[in-house]
Structure 1
Amino acid sequence: MPEYPTALGASSRDSITLLGKDLATDVMGEVGFGELAFWLATQRRPTPGETRVFEAVLAALADHGFTPTAIVTRLTYLSAPDSVQGALAAGLLGGGSRFLGVTEDCGRFLHEVLVEREPPAGDDGWDELALEVVTAERAAGRFIPGLGHHVHKDGDPRTPRLFQIAREEGLVGPHLSLFAAIGRVHPRVLGKTLPLNGAGVCGAALADLGLPLELLRGFALLARTAGLIGQLAEELRHPVGNDIFLSVDLNNRSVPPSAQGGPHG
C-alpha cells in the first residue's frame, strides 16, 4: 500500500497526534488557537511575540460591520437557514481584491520589491527606496496595495496599533519598514496623503513573520470566519437580513433595456 507522510494530524486506534504532539494531552488546553494556526502553517511553534503579532492581525481582520462579506452571509442564511456552512462560505468567497484580499496583495507587493534588494539602513534609506517604488507605480498607472481607505480617510486606527505591537515584540522587519516608508513619502509623488490601511499593514506583518505569501489571504479568511460567525449569531438575535432583502425588492424600479443593448453594445 502507498504511504502518505504528514506532520499534521494522524490517528491510531487510541491516540491522535498533531505536529508531533499528542493532541489530547499536549495541545488541547495547552495551545491557543491562534498559536496553533501559526504552528500548522509553518510547522514550527511561534514565539510568544510572534503569537501576539499574529493574533493582533487576526483581531484586526475579524469584522468590520456590514461589509459585503457580512451582508451576503446574512442574506444567504435568510435564504437557506438549514445551511450555516453555505452562509459562511458565501461570505468567504467575497474575500477578493477590494475586501480581505488586500492583505495578500500588499504582502506580495512588498516582497517583490524586497526580494532582489538588500534592506536599507535607517529611515532615510527606506524612504529613498519607497520613493523609487511609489514613483514607478505612479508612472505605470498602478495603485499601491494597502494605500487608502474608503472610510478611514484620516487614518486607519488599526495601523499604528499593529506597528506598535510589532515594535514592542522586536518584529518590525523589512516589509513593515518599507510599508511605513511608503506612508511617509507617497504624498510627495501623489500630491495627497492617503492612509495606510489595516489590511495592508496586516499583510506586511504576516510577511515579516515569515508566513507563506501564498497563504496570506487564507489567514485573512481565517480571521473573517470568526467575524462571520458573529454576524450569524447577531442575525439570530436581531435579524436584519429580511429588511435588507425587502429594501431592495420593494424599491426596485422597472426601466426599459439600455439603448446600447447591454455591455457589448
Structure 2
Amino acid sequence: MSFESPDFRSDISWSTPSAITVFGHDLVDDLVGKVNLGDMGFLELTGRLPTPGESTVFNALTVSLVEHGLTPSAIVTRMTRYGAPESLQSAVAAGLLGLGSTFVGSVEGAARYVQEATLDGDLTKEAAGIVEKFVSAKAIVPGIGHPIHKPLDPRAERLFGLLDEAGLRGPQVTLIREVARQAGDALGKVLPVNVTGAIGAIASRLGIDWRVARGIGVMARAVGLVGHVLEEIRTPTAPAIWREVDEAATRHHG
C-alpha cells in the first residue's frame, strides 16, 4: 500500500543547511541588520518589502497602537502575570485576546468596508450606503467616533499627513472621511475618523487584506504589553486591583 504525500505548501520561508529564505530574501544577507521590524511586518503581510514612503507610513501605523495606558488588555495582562509570573507569553497573549470589535479590532471593520467599496465611482454615494448599513442595524460604524478626541483624532490626522507626505493619498482616505461626515450628520454627533479608522483606510491603500488588518494592532500591542509586564514586575498593580474589585463587588453584603 502506498500513500501520496499531502499537498502542503508554504511560500513564506524555507531553509537549507547554510541559508534561510523569507519571501525570496536571504534572511542573513538581505534582512538582518538592514530591515526594521515594521518593514518585516509589511513583508509578512504583503509578500514584499515596502518602498521608503510605505515604510514610513506602515511603521507609523504600528507605533500609533503600541501604547494606550491601562486599557482592559493591559489590565488583563497584568492580572495574568500576577497569577502566572513564570509565563510572560501567557500574560501578553491574554491581553491580545481582548483585541476585538471594541478595542483595536475595529481596524478590520473599517478596512473591510473600504475594500469592499467601489473606489473609482461616486464616493459620496458609496459612503451613504456604508453609513445606512450600520445605522439601520443600530451598529457602531467601525473606525468612526471617539469619546475624547473631538472634533478630530490627532493620531488619525498625523497618519493621514504622513500618507500625503509619502505621496500615497488615495480614494480610501476620501471615502472614510466622507463616511465620518455622513455618520455624524445621520446621528447628530461629532464623529471624527479615529485612529483605527485611519489605519483601516491606510492599510487598504497599502494593499493589506482586510482579513489581517487587525494584525497590525496585534503586532503593535504585543510590544506595549511586554512593557506593561515589565512595569508590573517593578511596580505591581495587580494585587491592588484585585483587592479593590473584590471589596467593591461584595460591599453590598456589609
Could you tell me how far 1:134 is from its partner in structure 2? Answer: 2.6
Residues 146-166 of structure 1 deviation map (CA, whole Å, 9 limit, x = unaligned): 111233244322011011011
Q: Are the counterparts in 1 of residues 119 and 171 from structure 2 also a CA contact under 8 Å?
A: no
Report what 2:172 is aligned to. Answer: 175
Q: Alpha carbons of 1:6 and 1:243: their partners in 2 closer, same or farther (altered >3 Å)?
A: same
How is 1:123-142 mapped onto 2 (pairs within 5 angstroms)? 126-142=123-139
**Match of residue 90, structure 1, among 68, 90, 94:** 94
Q: Give the whole-Å Cα distance in 2 for the aligned partners of 1:178 and 1:57.
A: 19
Report what 1:110 is aligned to. Answer: 114
Report what 1:262 is aligned to. Answer: none
| Residue 150 of structure 2 corresponds to residue 150 of structure 1 | no
Q: Give the whole-Å Cα distance in 2 for the aligned partners of 1:179 and 1:158.
A: 15
| Letter matched to residue 142 of structure 1 | A
**Match of residue 165, structure 1, among 130, 146, 162:** 162
Q: Are the counterparts in 2 of residues 130 and 185 from structure 1 also a CA contact under 8 Å?
A: yes
CA RMSD of superposed structures (Å): 2.1
Identity %: 39
Report what 2:235 is aligned to. Answer: 238
Report what 2:66 is aligned to. Answer: 62
Report what 1:72 is aligned to. Answer: 76
Report what 2:46 is aligned to. Answer: 42
* SS of equivalent residue, structure 2 residue 248: coil
Q: Are the counterparts in 2 of residues 148 and 195 from structure 1 also a CA contact under 8 Å?
A: yes
Q: Give the whole-Å Cα distance in 1 for the aligned partners of 2:236 and 2:199.
A: 31
Structure 1 unaligned segments of length 5 or more: list them.
257-265
How is 1:204-219 mapped onto 2 (pairs within 5 angstroms)? 204-219=201-216
Q: Are the counterparts in 2 of residues 127 and 184 from structure 1 also a CA contact under 8 Å?
A: no
Residues 23-59 of structure 1 deviation map (CA, whole Å, 9 limit, x = unaligned): 1122110111111111122111211111111111101
Could you tell me how far 1:254 is from its partner in structure 2? Answer: 6.0
Q: How many residues align?
A: 249
* SS of equivalent residue, structure 1 residue 10: strand
Report what 1:261 is aligned to. Answer: none
TM-score by length of 2: 0.89
Q: Are the counterparts in 2 of residues 63 and 227 from structure 1 also a CA contact under 8 Å?
A: yes
Structure 2 unaligned segments of length 5 or more: list them.
none
Could you tell me how far 1:17 is from its partner in structure 2? Answer: 1.8
Q: Give the whole-Å Cα distance in 2 for the aligned partners of 1:57 and 1:136.
A: 27
| Letter matched to residue 198 of structure 2 | V
